[in-house]
Structure 1
Amino acid sequence: MSALNPKIDQVGNVHQAMYQQIDQLLQHGLIASASYRSVTASTNSDAVADLQAFAQNAPTSWAEQPSLSAPSPVTLDEVLPRLYITDRQTGGRGRQGSSWDSSDDAVTFSLLIKLPSTPAIADLLSLAIGVAVARAIEFLCAPVRVKLKWPNDLCTLFGIDGSSVLQLCKLGGILIEANAAQLDCRVVGVGINLNEAPQIANPDALPALALAKLTGRALARHAAVAALIESTIEVLDELSEDPDSVLQQYRDRCALTGQQLSMQVGDQQIDGLCLGINHAGGLQLQTAGQVMSLRSGQVKKIRPQ
Protein backbone atom coordinates (compact mmCIF):
# COMPACT_ATOMS: atom_id res chain seq x y z
CA MET A 1 0.00 0.00 0.00
CA SER A 2 1.25 3.47 -0.81
CA ALA A 3 2.66 5.54 2.06
CA LEU A 4 1.53 8.75 0.37
CA ASN A 5 -2.12 9.68 0.33
CA PRO A 6 -2.76 11.15 -3.16
CA LYS A 7 -5.53 13.39 -1.79
CA ILE A 8 -3.27 15.23 0.65
CA ASP A 9 -2.73 18.92 -0.04
CA GLN A 10 -5.19 18.90 -2.97
CA VAL A 11 -2.44 17.57 -5.20
CA GLY A 12 -4.45 17.87 -8.38
CA ASN A 13 -2.94 16.41 -11.56
CA VAL A 14 -0.04 14.44 -10.14
CA HIS A 15 2.75 13.39 -12.47
CA GLN A 16 2.82 9.63 -11.97
CA ALA A 17 6.61 9.29 -12.08
CA MET A 18 7.05 11.96 -9.43
CA TYR A 19 4.29 10.45 -7.31
CA GLN A 20 5.99 7.05 -7.44
CA GLN A 21 9.37 8.57 -6.61
CA ILE A 22 8.01 10.36 -3.54
CA ASP A 23 6.35 7.13 -2.49
CA GLN A 24 9.69 5.32 -2.69
CA LEU A 25 11.36 7.99 -0.56
CA LEU A 26 8.63 7.48 2.04
CA GLN A 27 8.82 3.69 1.91
CA HIS A 28 12.62 3.75 2.32
CA GLY A 29 12.36 6.05 5.33
CA LEU A 30 14.37 8.89 3.83
CA ILE A 31 11.48 11.25 4.54
CA ALA A 32 8.61 10.81 6.98
CA SER A 33 5.93 12.75 5.10
CA ALA A 34 5.43 14.76 1.93
CA SER A 35 3.37 17.52 0.35
CA TYR A 36 3.21 17.57 -3.46
CA ARG A 37 1.40 20.43 -5.21
CA SER A 38 1.22 21.05 -8.92
CA VAL A 39 1.46 24.82 -8.30
CA THR A 40 2.33 26.79 -5.18
CA ALA A 41 3.59 30.26 -4.39
CA SER A 42 6.58 29.00 -2.41
CA THR A 43 7.54 25.63 -0.96
CA ASN A 44 9.48 27.40 1.79
CA SER A 45 6.39 29.45 2.66
CA ASP A 46 4.28 26.27 2.75
CA ALA A 47 6.70 24.74 5.26
CA VAL A 48 6.86 27.87 7.41
CA ALA A 49 3.05 28.07 7.42
CA ASP A 50 2.88 24.50 8.73
CA LEU A 51 5.35 25.32 11.52
CA GLN A 52 3.29 28.31 12.58
CA ALA A 53 0.03 26.38 12.40
CA PHE A 54 1.44 23.50 14.44
CA ALA A 55 2.66 25.91 17.15
CA GLN A 56 -0.84 27.41 17.35
CA ASN A 57 -2.63 24.02 17.33
CA ALA A 58 -4.19 24.98 13.99
CA PRO A 59 -4.68 22.59 11.03
CA THR A 60 -1.53 21.67 9.13
CA SER A 61 -1.06 20.18 5.66
CA TRP A 62 -0.32 16.79 7.22
CA ALA A 63 -3.42 16.69 9.45
CA GLU A 64 -5.36 14.34 7.15
CA GLN A 65 -2.54 11.85 6.56
CA PRO A 66 -4.02 8.48 7.59
CA SER A 67 -0.83 7.06 9.08
CA LEU A 68 -0.62 10.03 11.42
CA SER A 69 -4.26 10.45 12.37
CA ALA A 70 -4.22 9.47 16.02
CA PRO A 71 -6.41 10.59 18.94
CA SER A 72 -3.45 12.28 20.60
CA PRO A 73 -1.77 15.33 19.01
CA VAL A 74 0.75 14.56 16.29
CA THR A 75 4.34 15.43 17.18
CA LEU A 76 6.75 17.04 14.75
CA ASP A 77 9.07 14.06 15.11
CA GLU A 78 6.41 11.91 13.42
CA VAL A 79 6.37 14.00 10.25
CA LEU A 80 10.01 15.10 9.91
CA PRO A 81 11.88 15.19 7.63
CA ARG A 82 8.96 16.49 5.55
CA LEU A 83 9.28 17.15 1.84
CA TYR A 84 7.43 20.04 0.15
CA ILE A 85 7.69 19.82 -3.62
CA THR A 86 5.96 21.50 -6.54
CA ASP A 87 5.89 21.41 -10.32
CA ARG A 88 5.72 25.20 -10.52
CA GLN A 89 6.55 27.91 -8.00
CA THR A 90 5.05 31.34 -8.66
CA GLY A 91 6.06 33.48 -5.69
CA GLY A 92 9.30 32.09 -4.37
CA ARG A 93 12.04 34.16 -2.84
CA GLY A 94 15.79 33.98 -2.60
CA ARG A 95 18.31 35.80 -0.49
CA GLN A 96 18.29 39.59 -0.27
CA GLY A 97 14.62 39.63 -1.34
CA SER A 98 15.27 38.29 -4.84
CA SER A 99 12.55 36.30 -6.61
CA TRP A 100 12.78 32.54 -7.00
CA ASP A 101 10.08 31.34 -9.37
CA SER A 102 10.29 28.10 -11.33
CA SER A 103 8.56 25.89 -13.87
CA ASP A 104 8.54 22.14 -14.40
CA ASP A 105 11.88 22.57 -16.20
CA ALA A 106 13.40 23.03 -12.74
CA VAL A 107 13.59 21.10 -9.48
CA THR A 108 12.05 23.10 -6.63
CA PHE A 109 11.55 21.67 -3.17
CA SER A 110 11.87 22.40 0.53
CA LEU A 111 12.78 20.00 3.30
CA LEU A 112 11.57 20.66 6.83
CA ILE A 113 14.10 19.18 9.25
CA LYS A 114 14.98 19.10 12.93
CA LEU A 115 18.05 21.23 13.57
CA PRO A 116 21.18 19.40 14.81
CA SER A 117 21.43 19.83 18.57
CA THR A 118 25.02 21.11 18.63
CA PRO A 119 25.21 24.85 17.83
CA ALA A 120 28.60 24.47 16.12
CA ILE A 121 27.12 21.87 13.76
CA ALA A 122 24.01 23.97 13.15
CA ASP A 123 26.23 26.83 11.97
CA LEU A 124 27.47 24.61 9.14
CA LEU A 125 24.00 23.57 7.93
CA SER A 126 23.94 25.84 4.88
CA LEU A 127 27.39 24.64 3.80
CA ALA A 128 26.39 21.01 4.34
CA ILE A 129 23.32 21.39 2.11
CA GLY A 130 25.56 22.91 -0.56
CA VAL A 131 27.84 19.87 -0.37
CA ALA A 132 24.85 17.52 -0.53
CA VAL A 133 23.34 19.14 -3.61
CA ALA A 134 26.75 19.34 -5.30
CA ARG A 135 27.32 15.63 -4.76
CA ALA A 136 23.89 14.78 -6.15
CA ILE A 137 24.45 16.88 -9.27
CA GLU A 138 27.85 15.29 -9.82
CA PHE A 139 26.25 11.85 -9.51
CA LEU A 140 23.55 12.73 -12.05
CA CYS A 141 25.79 14.62 -14.46
CA ALA A 142 29.25 13.05 -14.27
CA PRO A 143 31.90 14.26 -15.01
CA VAL A 144 30.46 17.72 -14.18
CA ARG A 145 32.22 19.37 -11.24
CA VAL A 146 30.14 21.68 -9.04
CA LYS A 147 31.57 24.81 -7.43
CA LEU A 148 30.01 26.41 -4.35
CA LYS A 149 29.77 30.19 -4.22
CA TRP A 150 29.37 31.27 -0.60
CA PRO A 151 26.92 31.42 0.93
CA ASN A 152 24.27 29.63 -1.14
CA ASP A 153 24.91 29.38 -4.91
CA LEU A 154 25.58 26.18 -6.86
CA CYS A 155 27.82 26.84 -9.84
CA THR A 156 30.12 25.33 -12.43
CA LEU A 157 32.69 26.53 -14.93
CA PHE A 158 31.34 26.61 -18.49
CA GLY A 159 32.14 28.19 -21.83
CA ILE A 160 29.06 30.23 -22.79
CA ASP A 161 28.00 29.87 -26.45
CA GLY A 162 30.86 27.47 -27.09
CA SER A 163 33.54 29.85 -25.87
CA SER A 164 36.87 28.35 -24.83
CA VAL A 165 36.93 30.84 -21.96
CA LEU A 166 35.33 29.23 -18.92
CA GLN A 167 33.26 31.37 -16.59
CA LEU A 168 31.36 30.71 -13.40
CA CYS A 169 27.69 29.96 -14.12
CA LYS A 170 24.84 29.41 -11.66
CA LEU A 171 23.07 26.05 -11.60
CA GLY A 172 20.81 26.78 -8.65
CA GLY A 173 20.57 28.04 -5.12
CA ILE A 174 19.74 27.26 -1.52
CA LEU A 175 17.65 29.21 0.97
CA ILE A 176 17.54 28.12 4.62
CA GLU A 177 14.96 29.71 6.90
CA ALA A 178 14.13 29.58 10.58
CA ASN A 179 10.88 30.53 12.25
CA ALA A 180 10.23 31.69 15.79
CA ALA A 181 7.37 29.20 16.09
CA GLN A 182 9.83 26.28 16.11
CA LEU A 183 13.41 27.38 16.71
CA ASP A 184 14.70 23.81 16.65
CA CYS A 185 13.60 23.34 13.03
CA ARG A 186 14.87 24.64 9.71
CA VAL A 187 13.31 24.94 6.27
CA VAL A 188 15.83 24.00 3.58
CA GLY A 189 14.81 25.31 0.16
CA VAL A 190 16.56 24.07 -2.99
CA GLY A 191 16.10 25.20 -6.59
CA ILE A 192 18.02 23.68 -9.53
CA ASN A 193 17.97 24.67 -13.22
CA LEU A 194 17.28 21.23 -14.65
CA ASN A 195 16.31 21.44 -18.33
CA GLU A 196 15.97 25.19 -18.83
CA ALA A 197 17.75 28.18 -17.30
CA PRO A 198 15.84 31.35 -16.34
CA GLN A 199 16.61 34.72 -17.87
CA ILE A 200 18.65 36.85 -15.45
CA ALA A 201 18.00 40.59 -15.63
CA ASN A 202 20.66 41.64 -13.10
CA PRO A 203 23.86 42.49 -15.04
CA ASP A 204 25.99 41.76 -11.95
CA ALA A 205 24.54 38.27 -11.47
CA LEU A 206 26.21 35.10 -12.68
CA PRO A 207 24.77 33.72 -15.93
CA ALA A 208 22.25 30.94 -15.31
CA LEU A 209 22.91 27.49 -16.74
CA ALA A 210 20.75 24.36 -16.92
CA LEU A 211 22.09 20.89 -16.18
CA ALA A 212 20.73 19.72 -19.54
CA LYS A 213 23.04 22.20 -21.27
CA LEU A 214 25.99 20.67 -19.45
CA THR A 215 25.10 17.07 -20.19
CA GLY A 216 23.59 17.48 -23.65
CA ARG A 217 20.49 15.54 -22.61
CA ALA A 218 17.20 16.15 -20.84
CA LEU A 219 17.08 15.02 -17.23
CA ALA A 220 14.14 13.33 -15.52
CA ARG A 221 12.88 15.49 -12.68
CA HIS A 222 11.77 12.60 -10.49
CA ALA A 223 15.22 10.99 -10.71
CA ALA A 224 16.88 14.29 -9.83
CA VAL A 225 14.64 14.70 -6.79
CA ALA A 226 15.51 11.21 -5.56
CA ALA A 227 19.25 11.85 -5.87
CA LEU A 228 18.97 15.25 -4.16
CA ILE A 229 16.94 13.99 -1.20
CA GLU A 230 19.11 10.90 -0.70
CA SER A 231 22.27 13.00 -0.78
CA THR A 232 20.82 15.59 1.60
CA ILE A 233 19.84 13.03 4.24
CA GLU A 234 23.23 11.33 3.84
CA VAL A 235 25.21 14.55 4.32
CA LEU A 236 23.07 15.62 7.30
CA ASP A 237 24.08 12.35 8.97
CA GLU A 238 27.72 13.04 8.08
CA LEU A 239 27.41 16.53 9.53
CA SER A 240 26.37 15.11 12.89
CA GLU A 241 29.12 12.49 12.90
CA ASP A 242 32.05 14.32 11.29
CA PRO A 243 31.45 18.05 10.69
CA ASP A 244 35.12 18.65 9.83
CA SER A 245 34.83 16.29 6.86
CA VAL A 246 31.76 18.11 5.53
CA LEU A 247 33.48 21.47 5.98
CA GLN A 248 36.51 20.22 4.06
CA GLN A 249 34.28 19.03 1.21
CA TYR A 250 32.84 22.53 1.00
CA ARG A 251 36.31 24.08 1.02
CA ASP A 252 37.37 21.76 -1.81
CA ARG A 253 34.49 23.10 -3.92
CA CYS A 254 34.65 26.76 -2.84
CA ALA A 255 34.56 28.98 -5.93
CA LEU A 256 35.76 32.09 -4.10
CA THR A 257 38.99 31.05 -2.39
CA GLY A 258 41.88 33.06 -3.82
CA GLN A 259 39.56 35.47 -5.66
CA GLN A 260 39.38 39.25 -5.31
CA LEU A 261 35.83 40.08 -4.24
CA SER A 262 33.51 43.01 -3.81
CA MET A 263 31.12 42.16 -0.97
CA GLN A 264 27.91 43.86 0.08
CA VAL A 265 27.50 43.59 3.85
CA GLY A 266 24.45 45.54 4.98
CA ASP A 267 24.83 48.99 3.43
CA GLN A 268 28.61 48.68 3.25
CA GLN A 269 30.77 47.51 0.33
CA ILE A 270 33.94 45.66 1.29
CA ASP A 271 36.69 44.71 -1.16
CA GLY A 272 39.28 42.07 -0.40
CA LEU A 273 40.93 38.73 -1.10
CA CYS A 274 38.97 35.62 -0.14
CA LEU A 275 41.12 33.37 2.06
CA GLY A 276 38.53 30.62 2.25
CA ILE A 277 35.98 29.37 4.78
CA ASN A 278 36.68 29.29 8.52
CA HIS A 279 35.75 26.57 11.03
CA ALA A 280 32.37 28.23 11.72
CA GLY A 281 31.39 28.46 8.05
CA GLY A 282 32.20 32.16 7.70
CA LEU A 283 33.95 33.74 4.72
CA GLN A 284 37.50 34.93 5.44
CA LEU A 285 38.20 38.19 3.61
CA GLN A 286 41.58 39.90 3.70
CA THR A 287 41.17 43.65 3.40
CA ALA A 288 43.70 46.42 3.84
CA GLY A 289 45.33 45.67 7.16
CA GLN A 290 42.98 43.00 8.54
CA VAL A 291 41.24 39.67 8.01
CA MET A 292 37.47 39.80 8.40
CA SER A 293 35.22 36.83 9.16
CA LEU A 294 31.86 37.35 7.48
CA ARG A 295 28.79 35.42 8.64
CA SER A 296 26.50 37.06 6.08
CA GLY A 297 26.75 39.17 2.99
CA GLN A 298 26.43 39.04 -0.77
CA VAL A 299 29.18 38.70 -3.34
CA LYS A 300 28.51 41.58 -5.71
CA LYS A 301 31.44 40.95 -8.00
CA ILE A 302 34.35 38.59 -8.51
CA ARG A 303 37.02 40.95 -9.80
CA PRO A 304 39.64 39.96 -12.41
CA GLN A 305 43.05 39.38 -10.92
Structure 2
Amino acid sequence: MIADIRTIAATGSTNDDVATLARAGEREGLWLRADTQTGGRGRHGRPWQSPPGNLFASTIVRLRAGDPPPAMLAMVAALALHQVAAAYAGDGRIVLKWPNDLLLDGAKMSGILLESAGDAVVVGFGVNLAHRPEGLDRQTASFAASGLGAPDPAAFLVDLADAFARWLARWRTEGVAGIRREWLARAHVIGTPLRTTGADGDYIEGLFDGLDESGALRLRLADGRVHILHAGDVFLI
Protein backbone atom coordinates (compact mmCIF):
# COMPACT_ATOMS: atom_id res chain seq x y z
CA MET A 1 0.00 0.00 0.00
CA ILE A 2 1.36 3.44 -0.96
CA ALA A 3 1.17 5.89 1.92
CA ASP A 4 -0.98 9.00 1.51
CA ILE A 5 1.16 11.66 3.22
CA ARG A 6 -0.40 15.08 3.79
CA THR A 7 1.38 18.08 5.32
CA ILE A 8 0.05 21.19 7.06
CA ALA A 9 1.93 24.12 8.51
CA ALA A 10 0.35 24.08 11.98
CA THR A 11 -2.42 22.40 13.93
CA GLY A 12 -3.47 21.70 17.48
CA SER A 13 -2.71 17.97 17.33
CA THR A 14 -2.16 15.66 14.38
CA ASN A 15 -3.70 12.85 16.45
CA ASP A 16 -6.91 14.84 16.87
CA ASP A 17 -7.02 15.70 13.17
CA VAL A 18 -6.41 12.12 12.08
CA ALA A 19 -8.99 10.79 14.56
CA THR A 20 -11.57 13.06 12.91
CA LEU A 21 -10.54 11.77 9.48
CA ALA A 22 -10.68 8.16 10.70
CA ARG A 23 -14.22 8.60 11.99
CA ALA A 24 -15.16 10.10 8.63
CA GLY A 25 -13.99 6.92 6.88
CA GLU A 26 -10.43 7.73 5.75
CA ARG A 27 -8.50 4.61 4.85
CA GLU A 28 -5.51 2.98 6.47
CA GLY A 29 -2.29 4.38 5.05
CA LEU A 30 -3.18 8.04 5.54
CA TRP A 31 -0.48 10.11 7.28
CA LEU A 32 -0.74 13.71 8.44
CA ARG A 33 2.38 15.71 9.29
CA ALA A 34 2.44 19.20 10.81
CA ASP A 35 5.42 21.54 10.88
CA THR A 36 4.37 22.50 14.40
CA GLN A 37 1.57 21.79 16.91
CA THR A 38 -0.04 24.05 19.47
CA GLY A 39 -1.64 21.25 21.50
CA GLY A 40 0.63 18.25 21.12
CA ARG A 41 0.42 15.73 23.94
CA GLY A 42 2.01 12.57 25.20
CA ARG A 43 0.74 9.81 27.46
CA HIS A 44 -1.72 10.79 30.21
CA GLY A 45 -2.32 14.10 28.43
CA ARG A 46 1.12 15.49 29.18
CA PRO A 47 2.03 18.44 26.92
CA TRP A 48 4.45 17.66 24.09
CA GLN A 49 6.66 20.51 22.94
CA SER A 50 6.33 20.92 19.18
CA PRO A 51 8.92 23.30 17.69
CA PRO A 52 9.48 23.41 13.91
CA GLY A 53 12.21 21.04 12.76
CA ASN A 54 10.98 18.02 14.69
CA LEU A 55 8.60 15.38 13.38
CA PHE A 56 4.93 15.44 14.37
CA ALA A 57 2.84 12.93 12.41
CA SER A 58 -0.07 10.55 12.85
CA THR A 59 -1.53 7.66 10.87
CA ILE A 60 -4.56 5.35 10.83
CA VAL A 61 -4.69 1.60 11.42
CA ARG A 62 -8.02 -0.01 10.57
CA LEU A 63 -8.58 -3.01 12.83
CA ARG A 64 -9.58 -6.19 11.00
CA ALA A 65 -11.12 -9.43 12.14
CA GLY A 66 -8.31 -11.74 13.20
CA ASP A 67 -5.81 -8.96 13.94
CA PRO A 68 -3.54 -9.50 16.98
CA PRO A 69 -4.31 -7.44 20.12
CA PRO A 70 -4.21 -3.73 19.19
CA ALA A 71 -2.12 -2.89 22.26
CA MET A 72 0.83 -4.48 20.42
CA LEU A 73 0.65 -1.66 17.87
CA ALA A 74 2.72 0.39 20.31
CA MET A 75 5.59 -2.04 19.74
CA VAL A 76 4.92 -2.15 15.99
CA ALA A 77 5.27 1.64 15.91
CA ALA A 78 8.44 1.50 18.02
CA LEU A 79 10.01 -1.09 15.72
CA ALA A 80 9.27 0.98 12.64
CA LEU A 81 10.68 4.12 14.23
CA HIS A 82 13.74 2.22 15.47
CA GLN A 83 14.42 0.98 11.92
CA VAL A 84 14.44 4.50 10.52
CA ALA A 85 16.23 6.20 13.43
CA ALA A 86 18.97 3.56 13.51
CA ALA A 87 19.58 4.08 9.80
CA TYR A 88 20.33 7.75 10.52
CA ALA A 89 22.18 7.27 13.83
CA GLY A 90 24.19 4.13 13.11
CA ASP A 91 24.23 0.77 14.85
CA GLY A 92 24.14 0.64 18.60
CA ARG A 93 23.07 4.19 19.44
CA ILE A 94 19.29 3.60 19.33
CA VAL A 95 17.62 1.15 21.74
CA LEU A 96 14.02 0.49 22.75
CA LYS A 97 12.59 0.98 26.24
CA TRP A 98 9.24 -0.51 27.19
CA PRO A 99 6.74 -0.15 25.77
CA ASN A 100 7.55 2.19 22.88
CA ASP A 101 10.22 4.74 23.78
CA LEU A 102 13.35 5.17 21.69
CA LEU A 103 16.56 6.08 23.48
CA LEU A 104 19.44 7.78 21.68
CA ASP A 105 22.65 7.29 23.67
CA GLY A 106 20.44 6.47 26.68
CA ALA A 107 18.18 9.54 26.49
CA LYS A 108 14.56 9.74 25.30
CA MET A 109 14.29 11.02 21.75
CA SER A 110 10.67 10.30 20.79
CA GLY A 111 7.14 9.65 21.88
CA ILE A 112 4.43 7.41 20.44
CA LEU A 113 0.76 7.86 21.33
CA LEU A 114 -2.02 5.40 20.43
CA GLU A 115 -5.67 6.49 20.64
CA SER A 116 -8.91 4.81 19.56
CA ALA A 117 -11.15 6.33 16.90
CA GLY A 118 -14.13 4.04 16.33
CA ASP A 119 -12.90 0.86 14.67
CA ALA A 120 -9.51 2.43 14.01
CA VAL A 121 -6.39 3.19 16.02
CA VAL A 122 -4.61 6.51 15.55
CA VAL A 123 -0.84 6.20 15.97
CA GLY A 124 0.99 9.45 16.62
CA PHE A 125 4.75 10.03 16.47
CA GLY A 126 6.79 12.86 17.93
CA VAL A 127 10.52 12.64 17.15
CA ASN A 128 13.23 15.04 18.30
CA LEU A 129 15.13 15.74 15.11
CA ALA A 130 16.35 19.34 15.46
CA HIS A 131 15.34 20.13 19.06
CA ARG A 132 14.97 18.42 22.44
CA PRO A 133 12.87 19.59 25.39
CA GLU A 134 14.55 20.85 28.55
CA GLY A 135 13.54 20.67 32.20
CA LEU A 136 11.81 17.29 32.16
CA ASP A 137 12.05 14.44 34.68
CA ARG A 138 14.29 12.44 32.33
CA GLN A 139 17.20 12.95 29.98
CA THR A 140 16.20 13.89 26.45
CA ALA A 141 18.04 13.73 23.13
CA SER A 142 17.73 14.94 19.57
CA PHE A 143 19.62 14.06 16.41
CA ALA A 144 21.05 17.57 16.22
CA ALA A 145 22.13 17.73 19.89
CA SER A 146 23.81 14.33 19.53
CA GLY A 147 26.02 15.54 16.70
CA LEU A 148 24.18 13.65 13.97
CA GLY A 149 22.61 16.56 12.16
CA ALA A 150 18.85 17.00 11.96
CA PRO A 151 17.11 14.90 9.29
CA ASP A 152 14.50 16.65 7.18
CA PRO A 153 11.11 15.83 8.78
CA ALA A 154 9.41 15.23 5.43
CA ALA A 155 12.09 12.81 4.23
CA PHE A 156 12.17 11.10 7.61
CA LEU A 157 8.41 10.53 7.42
CA VAL A 158 8.61 8.96 3.96
CA ASP A 159 10.99 6.36 5.40
CA LEU A 160 8.86 5.94 8.54
CA ALA A 161 5.63 5.40 6.58
CA ASP A 162 7.30 2.68 4.53
CA ALA A 163 8.79 0.98 7.60
CA PHE A 164 5.49 1.17 9.50
CA ALA A 165 3.59 -0.49 6.65
CA ARG A 166 6.10 -3.34 6.60
CA TRP A 167 5.99 -3.87 10.38
CA LEU A 168 2.20 -3.64 10.36
CA ALA A 169 2.10 -6.46 7.81
CA ARG A 170 4.39 -8.54 10.02
CA TRP A 171 2.15 -7.88 13.04
CA ARG A 172 -0.77 -9.28 11.07
CA THR A 173 1.09 -12.36 9.81
CA GLU A 174 3.47 -13.19 12.70
CA GLY A 175 1.32 -12.03 15.61
CA VAL A 176 2.38 -11.20 19.14
CA ALA A 177 5.22 -13.71 19.31
CA GLY A 178 7.03 -12.31 16.28
CA ILE A 179 6.70 -8.68 17.35
CA ARG A 180 7.76 -9.52 20.91
CA ARG A 181 10.86 -11.30 19.64
CA GLU A 182 11.88 -8.47 17.35
CA TRP A 183 11.26 -5.84 20.03
CA LEU A 184 13.44 -7.69 22.56
CA ALA A 185 16.27 -7.90 20.03
CA ARG A 186 16.38 -4.08 19.92
CA ALA A 187 15.83 -3.32 23.61
CA HIS A 188 18.32 -2.49 26.35
CA VAL A 189 19.95 -5.59 27.84
CA ILE A 190 18.35 -8.00 30.29
CA GLY A 191 19.35 -6.95 33.79
CA THR A 192 19.14 -3.20 33.13
CA PRO A 193 18.04 -1.43 36.37
CA LEU A 194 14.59 0.16 35.98
CA ARG A 195 12.14 2.17 38.04
CA THR A 196 8.44 1.93 37.23
CA THR A 197 5.97 4.58 38.36
CA GLY A 198 2.21 4.07 38.54
CA ALA A 199 -0.61 6.61 38.25
CA ASP A 200 -0.62 7.01 42.05
CA GLY A 201 3.04 8.04 42.06
CA ASP A 202 4.27 4.89 43.79
CA TYR A 203 7.34 3.32 42.27
CA ILE A 204 8.96 -0.10 42.07
CA GLU A 205 12.61 -0.74 41.27
CA GLY A 206 14.05 -3.90 39.78
CA LEU A 207 15.93 -5.38 36.87
CA PHE A 208 14.61 -5.71 33.32
CA ASP A 209 13.66 -9.36 32.84
CA GLY A 210 12.21 -9.26 29.35
CA LEU A 211 8.54 -9.41 28.37
CA ASP A 212 5.82 -11.92 29.13
CA GLU A 213 3.89 -13.62 26.32
CA SER A 214 1.45 -10.70 26.05
CA GLY A 215 4.21 -8.09 25.79
CA ALA A 216 3.93 -6.88 29.40
CA LEU A 217 7.13 -5.85 31.19
CA ARG A 218 8.82 -8.34 33.52
CA LEU A 219 10.65 -6.65 36.40
CA ARG A 220 12.79 -8.84 38.67
CA LEU A 221 12.71 -7.52 42.23
CA ALA A 222 15.49 -7.66 44.80
CA ASP A 223 13.87 -10.65 46.55
CA GLY A 224 13.75 -12.65 43.29
CA ARG A 225 10.06 -12.21 42.62
CA VAL A 226 8.95 -11.04 39.16
CA HIS A 227 6.58 -8.09 38.94
CA ILE A 228 4.47 -7.88 35.75
CA LEU A 229 3.70 -4.36 34.54
CA HIS A 230 0.93 -3.84 31.99
CA ALA A 231 0.90 -0.02 32.12
CA GLY A 232 2.97 2.73 33.69
CA ASP A 233 6.03 4.90 33.22
CA VAL A 234 9.48 3.27 33.11
CA PHE A 235 12.79 5.00 33.77
CA LEU A 236 16.35 3.76 33.47
CA ILE A 237 18.25 3.99 36.77
Relative to the length of structure 2, the TM-score reads: 0.89
Distance verdict in 2 for CA 1:35–1:255, change over 3 Å: same
Match of 2:174 in 1: 242
- Aligned mates of 1:293, 1:105 — CA distance in 2: 38
* 2:104 aligned with 1:170: no
Q: Deviations over 1:201-250 (max 9, x none)?
A: 22x31x22111344533422221111111111111011111233332121
The CA deviation at 1:261 is 2.2
- Aligned-partner SS, 2:154: helix
Counterpart contact for 2:27–2:62, Cα < 8 Å: no
- Aligned mates of 1:44, 1:218 — CA distance in 2: 23
The CA deviation at 1:111 is 0.5
1:262 counterpart (183, 195, 200): 195
Q: Gapped runs of 5+ residues in structure 2?
A: none
The CA deviation at 1:122 is 2.5
- Aligned mates of 1:289, 1:120 — CA distance in 2: 32
Match of 1:101 in 2: 49
Q: Deviations over 1:58-115 (max 9, x none)?
A: xxxxxxxxxxxxxxxxxx3x63222121000111110132111312210110001112
Q: Deviations over 1:186-214 (max 9, x none)?
A: 01000111122222x22x31x22111344
- Aligned mates of 1:42, 1:176 — CA distance in 2: 13
Would you say how many aligned residue pairs link Structure 1 and Structure 2? 234
Which residues in structure 2 correspond to 1:13-162 (within 5 Å)? 29-31=1-3, 33-52=4-23, 54=24, 76=25, 79-118=27-66, 120-143=68-91, 145-157=93-105
Q: Deviations over 1:8-38 (max 9, x none)?
A: xxxxxxxxxxxxxxxxxxxxx422x444220
Counterpart contact for 1:113–1:185, Cα < 8 Å: yes
Distance verdict in 2 for CA 1:155–1:46, change over 3 Å: same
Which residues in structure 2 correspond to 1:257-296 (within 5 Å)? 257-267=190-200, 268-287=202-221, 288=223, 290-296=225-231
- Aligned-partner SS, 1:186: strand
Which residues in structure 2 correspond to 1:162-201 (within 5 Å)? 168-179=106-117, 182=118, 184-199=119-134, 201=135
Counterpart contact for 1:194–1:211, Cα < 8 Å: yes
- Aligned mates of 1:34, 1:143 — CA distance in 2: 28
- Aligned mates of 2:182, 2:166 — CA distance in 1: 14
- Aligned-partner SS, 1:124: helix
- Aligned-partner SS, 2:191: coil
Q: Gapped runs of 5+ residues in structure 1?
A: 1-28, 55-75, 158-167
2:46 alignment partner AA = S
Identity of aligned residues (%): 27
- Aligned mates of 1:237, 1:119 — CA distance in 2: 10
Match of 1:221 in 2: 153
1:271 alignment partner AA = E
The CA deviation at 1:146 is 1.5
- Aligned-partner SS, 1:228: helix
Deviation beyond 6 Å, 4+ runs, structure 1 = none
The CA deviation at 1:289 is 5.5
Across the aligned residues of Structure 1 and Structure 2, the Cα RMSD in angstroms comes to 2.1
Counterpart contact for 1:140–1:224, Cα < 8 Å: no
Counterpart contact for 2:22–2:60, Cα < 8 Å: no
- Aligned mates of 1:102, 1:250 — CA distance in 2: 27
